[in-house]
Amino acid sequence: MSEWSDTWTYSDDKWQEGNPLIVGAREHAFWLGSSVFDGARAFEGVMPDLDLHCERLNRSAVALSLKATKSADEMEALCREGVAKFEGEPALYIRPMYYATQGGPMAVGALPESTKFIISIYVTPMPEPKGMSVCVSHFRRPTQECMPLDAKAGCLYPNNGRALQDAGNRGYGNAVLLDMLGNVAELATANIFMVKDGVVYTPAANGTFLSGITRRRVMLLLQEAGHEVREETLQLEHFREADEMFATGNFSKVAPINRFEDRDLQPGPVAKKARELYWQFAHSGAA
């Protein structure tokens, strides 16, 4: 059985099983990073906020000077078509993408007309909400002047990857990244929340990190359930004094944080409630 047998790929207007070779060595995305993607989930027969993920991909394409060649509705229909190719209801990662094959003047900038669209859907189990340990990274989020932070662009992720690898080498499961001013921004692979005296806090979306779709959904669900949720500029001291912490993101949806540097934490009631509310939403038919 192939390593990629639990994958379906959409490219050149057709579905192929597995992970076919698509990008050549001279193509712009391969050597100059002109790619954007989005990530949605299929699990337990539902695909929450798939439409929002498709819409965001098109915004990301424009932000990186690519051409959005599919409407969000077309993209969503193709994603659902791909999910239907899997037997049963395995947990899947749904990754639509755009990338440039050619460069413009002097080959450095992407040529929008050369944009290609692909989808990769593959089996990825949902992690158990056992909690994660996090440390503070010495790597930081860039500013808008330096990188295309209004896009979910592939070129942004090597920096977070360095932070995650360093955290793993230090014995932690994830890393807290600060912005250039020293404010808490996000985890390497998720958005971060904290709770103090019953109030839910999350870093203000200041343009240095992606304000995730799951992040905004969880904020809304908690508010509707009567919780006070605040977006504020937060420093490490706030997190060191927090009663509980949790993370949101497409991969795990909602996951508690049970260790912050050398401080152990118990998975708290707000994190548990946030996960329950998200699962209810996902299965409500409104997703």
201-249 residue pLDDT tens: 999 999 999 999 999 999 999 999 999 999 999 999 999 999 999 999 9
Q: Give residue 286's pLDDT.
A: 76
What pLDDT band is residue 107 in, cutting at 50, 70 and 90? confident
DSSP line for the chain: --TTTTEEEEETTEEEES------TTSHHHHH--EEE--EEEBTTB-TTHHHHHHHHHHHHHHTT----S-HHHHHHHHHHHHTTSSS---EEEEEEEEESSBSGGGTSB-GGGEEEEEEEEE-PPPP---EEEEEEEEE---TTTS-TTS-BGGGHHHHHHHHHHHHHTT-SEEEEE-TTS-EEEESSSEEEEEETTEEEEE---SSS---HHHHHHHHHHHHTT--EEEE---HHHHHT-SEEEEEETTTEEEEEEEETTEE-PPPHHHHHHHHHHHHHHTSS--
Q: Give residue 5's pLDDT.
A: 64
CATH for 7-123 is 3.30.470.10
Q: What percent of the chain has pLDDT over 70?
A: 98
Reported pTM? 0.94
User: Where are the chain's structural domains?
Assistant: 7-123, 132-282
What pLDDT band is residue 186 in, cutting at 50, 70 and 90? very high
**Nearest CA among 74, 42, 46 for reference residue 58:** 74
CATH 3.30.1330.100 holds for 132-282: no
When the pLDDT of each residue in the chain is averaged and rounded to a whole number, the result is 95
